[in-house]
Amino acid sequence: MPAVSDDDLKQRLLATSKELLARGLTEATAGNLSVRLSGDRVAMTPSSLAYESMTVEDLVVLGLDGTVLEGERAPTSEKSLHLACMRDHEDIGAAIHCHAMFATMFAVTHQPIPCVIEEFDIYVGGDVPVADYRMTGSDELGEEVARHVGERGAVLMANHGLLTVGKDPEQALKVASLVERTAQVIWGARALGDLVPLPDSTRERFAPIYKLMRQR
């Protein structure tokens, strides 16, 4: 297969950012997205710009050390979040940070989102953990979050929101949608009674699948 061009990846990042808004996973200018480019570079959404009016020229390209290489706008204030994940995990090709409502409810109560649905195990890799609280935009937050996404497709940031990762923007968006839907299902299910976990045999069967998908 031919290599995907950086221009194509930027277009896909832009399209994903608009789809994130359309799905109700973020609003206004909240949240931020990134995609890994060639040559140890990362394209990100800019700071404080509405997704509806955002164009590919508004995206900002940074080196893994945080140096701005392309773009006229300031990068997202949470650039450290994305850069730490990219530096620590070479298999991560894209990251999305959003404030999806139900997932954020778990984040502000410091409750992991349990893996009680089969597809959650396959596409997320298990329970979604809660990263310890660190100040928004800080290097410390980036480091804390990055240590949780080595074997998971998502992590909650305490008192903040959700971060998902994938091989590309579309996969990171798929994980974000799945995590938000599952958080809503669990929130409603708990009103009916106690959650019933998946059988251990099912978890053991599905556990390797997520790891294989990340390796690809």
144 is catalytic: no
* In the chain, alpha helices (H): 6-22, 79-88, 101-108, 118-124, 139-146, 169-192, 200-215
DSSP H stretches of helix in 134-168: 139-146
Q: Tell me the C-alpha distance between 93 and 70, whole Å.
A: 19
Active-site option among 78, 119, 140, 204: 78
Spatial distance between the Cα atoms of 139 and 82, rounded to a whole number of angstroms: 10
Q: What are phi and psi of 204, to 5 degrees?
A: -65, -35
191 DSSP 8-state letter: H
φ/ψ of residue 7, rounded to 5 = -60, -40
Q: Give the active site residues.
A: 78
